A and B are shown apart, each in its own frame.
Chain A
Amino acid sequence: MAAYKGYEPVIGVEVHCELKTASKVFCGCSAAFGNVPNTACCPVCMGLPGALPQLNTEAVRLTVQAGVALHCDIRRTAWFDRKNYFYPDLPKGYQITQNDTPFCTGGYVTLYNKEKKIHLQRIHLEEDAGKLLHRDGMTCIDYNRCGVGLIEIVSEPELSDPAEVREYLTKLRQALLFAGVSDCRMNEGSMRCEVNISVRPVGSQTRGVRCEIKNIGSIQFAAKAAEEEFHRQADILADGGVIEQETRRFNENTGRTETMRKKESAVDYRYFTEPNIPPVHLTESYIAEIERQMPKNAVSWKNSLKSDYGLPDEDVEQLIQSPNIVLFYEKAASVSRYPKLTANLYIGEVIPRLAEGEAVPMDPAHLAEAANLLGDGDVNSTVAKQLTGRALREGTSPAAAAKAEGLFRIRDEAVLLPLVKDAIAADPRSVGDFLKGKTAARKRLLGWVIRQTGGRADAAVTEDLLDRALSELQQN
């Protein structure tokens, strides 16, 4: 728990995720990211007179899948509501959402290394709005995103430390990725979050005045924004001031939060039931079928990685960041004789270079090859890392590259012995030190040989040759 100037934060998080459906939630338009502006629109999502919403049942299924993945209760009868407000990116003048009857309630996210669970209030299905682009003093509107299916996941205000915001979002994102619900790409806006914070004296059970922070672009920034806002509020209170209820935004450049709007201009959303969509009834068998068909979740992956490949916890956590990452590992490990080495090369050389949410742009067999070369002793670890990196960047086969470029480890005594002799001849001082009993000097000689071979000299064979040569010198 974080404390600052005698205050502690009470934090809740709202997350919006775009659902991974091919089409939008109330019409047949493409829901893909990156289309030419205003080309994925139709009378329905543009709010033309007379056009009516048609509910995409796949969006309902994914919402339920999210609920199942996060241990929620699934509502059997739910309907939609209209949230009325005027904004240029909202063609109908209202958003179709679920106010009274979210598909999912309850549920929780478990934080790392702790028994702490963050409970969820609700997950509901709604439509996204368009995008405003401000340029050259003009405002352009791209309606492509209008009507893309979104789920809003609202946590209880149970987070008590900015670090927990990062953990919560990481675990939530992981669960949604494994459930196949959303791409959760924060850089493309398919996952967005808002953080609500109030502060109170440490140990108190009161609730302070709450501020809402929008416009947060990454999980790291969410934690940063929570911390900044916590400190801002604590500073104000410590100075005897009062917190005003307001909506703030996080400025990534300054790392500070700033005012968007005060409570006075809060909107009256005039909610009422959407008359164009009849209530949705989910049967027991429908929900049971979704539960049965749920993709393998992170916890199951964790267990199987440990039991099938004997990987340690630190490795497993790295591998279960996303389904793409773990599926790739599993493919590579299944054709590798050295799963641990496969994990090492993958975690060290591949995962850090992946773009958010991308499929791993590499042949898993190549990763396995590199691990096998390393495990069999054919190449040393430096070479194995280089070969893995090249396989990722250039698509080259590590085995073929090693062969073509002569990168294999040198174990031939006929090659190594002259080098050992050269080392002894080149560094009489180290030899002298060694003969005086300074064993560390032996390492310098060994290092010289390995450097001469660009790291390819087999350490064991070289050591053996060196020891023999040195003992000969000793005897003489």
Chain B
Amino acid sequence: MDKELTTISGCRKALDGREITAAELTQLYLRRIEERDEGIGAYLTVCGESAEKAAARADEILQTGEQSSLLGIPYACKDNIVTKGIRTTCASRMLENFVPPYDAVAVERLSDGGAVLLGKTNMDEFAMGSACENSALGKTVHPLDSSRSPGGSSGGSAAAVAAGEAVFALGSDTGGSARQPASFCGLVSMKPTYGLIPRYGLVEFASSMDTICPMTRTVEDNRMVLAALAGADSRDMTSVSPAEGWSVRKENREHCRGGRIALAADTDRFCDEATAANTRRAAELLTEMGYAVEEVSLPSPEHALETYVILTAAESSSNLARYDGIRYGRSGEGSSYREIGSDARTGGFGEEVTRRILTGAYALSAAHGGKYFHKIKNVQENIIRQTTALLERYDAILMPTTGSVAFPLADGEKTENRYDSDRYTVYANLTGLPAIQIPSGGDGMLPTGISLLGRRFGEGMLYDLAEGLEEMLADKVKAEVKSYGGI
């Protein structure tokens, strides 16, 4: 595959320059999926026919000379974002045959922009997990090392882009579910400010933290996807439009003058050596760019992860209550509602989902008078206050995205508690603030990642910072990370 045709900007040039048609580009990607995906397992559903139709429409529009950044660009969508007429499973037996009657707002916006949906990607069931191993419907492996996990829960989306099976992908992130797999697979992923991308059509895990995220090869591409997705929609009351002047366009502003960056302290404690070293290297580069970099302790490091775990479990126990097998989804057997519902749920949900529902129901129970849930809400408030205060003093907080390179697949063996890989990423979700993951280098020829956490609606500045680092780290990443299939 032509290297130029692996990024949005590369494809854009080729499409606008009439070097290739949208139909040809889509064919190229569909072929690629056919050739490669059996060994990777990124997709749960490939929708070739509708992709070809969408590409043909894109070609018609291209003929008119209309310019649009995503027109004719093939993409993959995580299977917890609903697509009209295309089955949306959340990688769960519960929804194995569920065909939604409507499109998510994000999908609608991409369709309106002329992007071409190639298919739906594998994930941890209902986005609960960080290795893509909690999928009930398929196994996804890391494109660079089939013994390893692509990360999760948006593992399929990450693997699809990394393996050149999609130009970009939509993931979702409730505690790091897009940034961690992006880190494992050497991609860029922005978790935008909560509410910036409407959630209508994103299947709920923990509503107060769920965020749709663009997953791309480059920062430039990521800007383009976010630009197409951002802005309030009446169907999601928590969605917000940023103030006038908000932009993800490259500003070329002089960030360096007087800029201050906080570097998360104690990375050695929670990360392996190379990841910590690569994070420090990024900090040095920021210093070279003219920023004052200072080490700070992240707020409530001992509680952030637990807060995330309890809050998301509580919300998910309620959000997943709708799956009773009555109106849609897996049916249950029995002679009463209780029996039918129990049967549908027991057989429909995997172990991790069941564990979180039970944990969450326990946390919310009136039996202990809100002791857990209300207390944990207070801790969250504290974390928000402290993080916001930090971001008044610093332009952004630099941290490793996750503690290591992609971990080996467990293949059914018991794994240690993998919540720990969410240690850094959860801050963006607990606070609703934006964070961007970019590759920081490699370890054993696999990518490591760093994240920058920024101010509310500070996506523009995060992109600029990330793009500066991306440029300065390009050679390092190239040298330290294996390339996939010549891409």
Cα of A55 to Cα of B317 in the assembled complex, Å: 23
Residues of A within 8 A of B95 (CB): 49
Q: Is B293 an interface residue (CB 8 A)?
A: no
Asked whether A82 lies within 8 Å of B318 as measured between CB atoms, the reply is yes
Q: Nearest-CB distance from A383 to chain B (Å)?
A: 61
Asked whether A84 lies within 8 Å of B321 as measured between CB atoms, the reply is yes
Residues of A within 8 A of B102 (CB): 43, 48, 51
Q: Is B385 an interface residue (CB 8 A)?
A: no
Asked whether B326 lies within 8 Å of A141 as measured between CB atoms, the reply is yes
Q: Nearest-CB distance from A192 to chain B (Å)?
A: 22
Q: A93-B318, A268-B366 are in contact. Are A43 and B203 (CB under 8 A)?
A: no
Asked whether B207 lies within 8 Å of A276 as measured between CB atoms, the reply is yes
Asked whether B322 lies within 8 Å of A54 as measured between CB atoms, the reply is no
| Closest chain A residue to B341, Cβ basis | A86
Asked whether B88 lies within 8 Å of A270 as measured between CB atoms, the reply is no
Q: Nearest-CB distance from A63 to chain B (Å)?
A: 17
Cα of A51 to Cα of B80 in the assembled complex, Å: 12
Residues of B within 8 A of A51 (CB): 102, 200-201
Cα of A82 to Cα of B319 in the assembled complex, Å: 10
Residues of A within 8 A of B200 (CB): 50-52
Q: Mark A54-92, 1 if CB is under 8 A from B, else 0.
A: 110000000000000000000000000010101110011
| Closest chain A residue to B94, Cβ basis | A49
Which of B98, B322, B367 is close to A91, meaning CB atoms less than 8 Å apart?
A: B322
CB contacts under 8 Å to A, within B98-131, are 98, 100-102, 104
| Closest chain A residue to B95, Cβ basis | A49
- Which of B104, B315, B318 has most A Cβ within 10 Å? B318
Q: A270-B318, A270-B366 are in contact. Are A54 and B100 (CB under 8 A)?
A: no
Which of A141, A143, A272, A276 is close to B237, meaning CB atoms less than 8 Å apart?
A: A276
Cα of A48 to Cα of B99 in the assembled complex, Å: 11
Q: Is B204 an interface residue (CB 8 A)?
A: yes
Asked whether A94 lies within 8 Å of B237 as measured between CB atoms, the reply is no
A-B contact count (CB 8 A): 104
Cα of A50 to Cα of B127 in the assembled complex, Å: 13
Q: Is A53 an interface residue (CB 8 A)?
A: yes
Asked whether B104 lies within 8 Å of A50 as measured between CB atoms, the reply is yes
Asked whether A54 lies within 8 Å of B238 as measured between CB atoms, the reply is no
- Which of A43, A87, A278 has most B Cβ within 10 Å? A43
Cα of A278 to Cα of B232 in the assembled complex, Å: 14
Asked whether A272 lies within 8 Å of B373 as measured between CB atoms, the reply is yes
Q: Nearest-CB distance from A414 to chain B (Å)?
A: 79
Q: Nearest-CB distance from B481 to chain A (Å)?
A: 35
Which of A46, A54, A55 is close to B327, meaning CB atoms less than 8 Å apart?
A: A46
Q: Mark A272-302, 1 if CB is under 8 A from B, else 0.
A: 1001111000000000000000000000000
Q: Is A269 an interface residue (CB 8 A)?
A: yes
Residues of B within 8 A of A48 (CB): 82, 100-102, 327-328
CB contacts under 8 Å to B, within A258-278, are 268-272, 275-278
Residues of A within 8 A of B204 (CB): 49-50
Residues of B within 8 A of A268 (CB): 365-367
Q: Mark A113-143, 1 if CB is under 8 A from B, else 0.
A: 0000000000000000000000000000101
Q: Mark B203-226, 1 if CB is under 8 A from A, else 0.
A: 110111000000000000000000
Residues of A within 8 A of B341 (CB): 86
| Closest chain B residue to A44, Cβ basis | B235
Q: Which label, helix, strand, loop or mixed, suits the secondary structure of the A interface?
A: loop
Q: Is A357 an interface residue (CB 8 A)?
A: no
Q: Nearest-CB distance from A261 to chain B (Å)?
A: 14
Q: Is A201 an interface residue (CB 8 A)?
A: no
CB contacts under 8 Å to B, within A83-107, are 84, 86-88, 91-94
Residues of A within 8 A of B98 (CB): 49
CB contacts under 8 Å to A, within B221-244, are 234-238
Q: Nearest-CB distance from A106 to chain B (Å)?
A: 25
Q: A47-B322, A88-B337 are in contact. Are A270 and B317 (CB under 8 A)?
A: yes
Q: Is B11 an interface residue (CB 8 A)?
A: no
Q: Nearest-CB distance from B175 to chain A (Å)?
A: 15
Residues of A within 8 A of B82 (CB): 48-50
Asked whether B321 lies within 8 Å of A54 as measured between CB atoms, the reply is no
Q: Nearest-CB distance from B171 to chain A (Å)?
A: 15
Q: A94-B318, A275-B315 are in contact. Are A53 and B237 (CB under 8 A)?
A: yes
Cα of A87 to Cα of B238 in the assembled complex, Å: 27
Residues of B within 8 A of A47 (CB): 322, 327
* Interface size class of chain B, counting residues whose CB lies under 8 Å from the partner chain: 35 or more
Cα of A87 to Cα of B327 in the assembled complex, Å: 12
Q: Is B81 an interface residue (CB 8 A)?
A: yes
Residues of B within 8 A of A54 (CB): 234-235, 237
Which of A46, A82, A88, A275 is close to B324, meaning CB atoms less than 8 Å apart?
A: A88
- Which of A54, A91, A270, A276 has most B Cβ within 10 Å? A270
Q: Is B46 an interface residue (CB 8 A)?
A: no
| Closest chain B residue to A27, Cβ basis | B235
Asked whether B208 lies within 8 Å of A275 as measured between CB atoms, the reply is yes
Cα of A46 to Cα of B102 in the assembled complex, Å: 13
Residues of A within 8 A of B323 (CB): 93
Q: Is B356 an interface residue (CB 8 A)?
A: no
Residues of A within 8 A of B461 (CB): none
Residues of A within 8 A of B201 (CB): 50-51
| Closest chain A residue to B126, Cβ basis | A49
Q: Nearest-CB distance from B312 to chain A (Å)?
A: 11
Q: A52-B236, A86-B337, A86-B341 are in contact. Are A272 and B327 (CB under 8 A)?
A: no
Residues of B within 8 A of A55 (CB): 237
Q: Mark A140-175, 1 if CB is under 8 A from B, else 0.
A: 010100000000000000000000000000000000
Cα of A46 to Cα of B324 in the assembled complex, Å: 12
Q: Is B169 an interface residue (CB 8 A)?
A: no
Q: Is B190 an interface residue (CB 8 A)?
A: no
| Closest chain B residue to A46, Cβ basis | B327
Residues of A within 8 A of B238 (CB): 52, 275-278
Residues of A within 8 A of B326 (CB): 88, 141
CB contacts under 8 Å to A, within B347-377, are 361, 364-367, 373
Q: Mark B338-351, 1 if CB is under 8 A from A, else 0.
A: 10010000000000
Cα of A341 to Cα of B354 in the assembled complex, Å: 72
Cα of A55 to Cα of B236 in the assembled complex, Å: 10
Q: Is B161 an interface residue (CB 8 A)?
A: no
CB contacts under 8 Å to A, within B303-333, are 314-315, 317-318, 320-324, 326-328
Q: Is B280 an interface residue (CB 8 A)?
A: no
Q: Nearest-CB distance from B98 to chain A (Å)?
A: 7
Cα of A132 to Cα of B328 in the assembled complex, Å: 17
| Closest chain A residue to B200, Cβ basis | A52
Q: Is B90 an interface residue (CB 8 A)?
A: yes
Cα of A92 to Cα of B207 in the assembled complex, Å: 14
Q: Is B191 an interface residue (CB 8 A)?
A: no
Asked whether B90 lies within 8 Å of A49 as measured between CB atoms, the reply is yes
Q: Is B199 an interface residue (CB 8 A)?
A: yes
Contacts A/B (CB < 8 Å), 16 sampled: A43-B100, A48-B82, A49-B95, A49-B204, A52-B235, A52-B237, A53-B237, A86-B324, A88-B324, A88-B337, A92-B322, A94-B318, A268-B365, A268-B366, A268-B367, A272-B318
Known contacts A50-B80, A270-B317; 19 additional CB pairs below 8 A are A50-B81, A50-B199, A52-B199, A52-B200, A52-B236, A55-B237, A82-B318, A86-B321, A88-B324, A88-B326, A91-B327, A93-B320, A93-B322, A94-B321, A269-B366, A271-B364, A272-B318, A275-B208, A278-B238
The 8 A-B pairs with the shortest beta carbon distances in the complex, nearest first, are A93-B321, A270-B364, A275-B208, A275-B207, A49-B203, A50-B201, A47-B322, A50-B82
B binding-site residues for A, Cβ under 8 Å:
80-82, 88, 90, 95, 98, 100-102, 104, 199-204, 206-208, 234-238, 314-315, 317-318, 320-324, 326-328, 337-338, 341, 361, 364-367, 373
A binding-site residues for B, Cβ under 8 Å:
43, 46-55, 82, 84, 86-88, 91-94, 141, 143, 268-272, 275-278
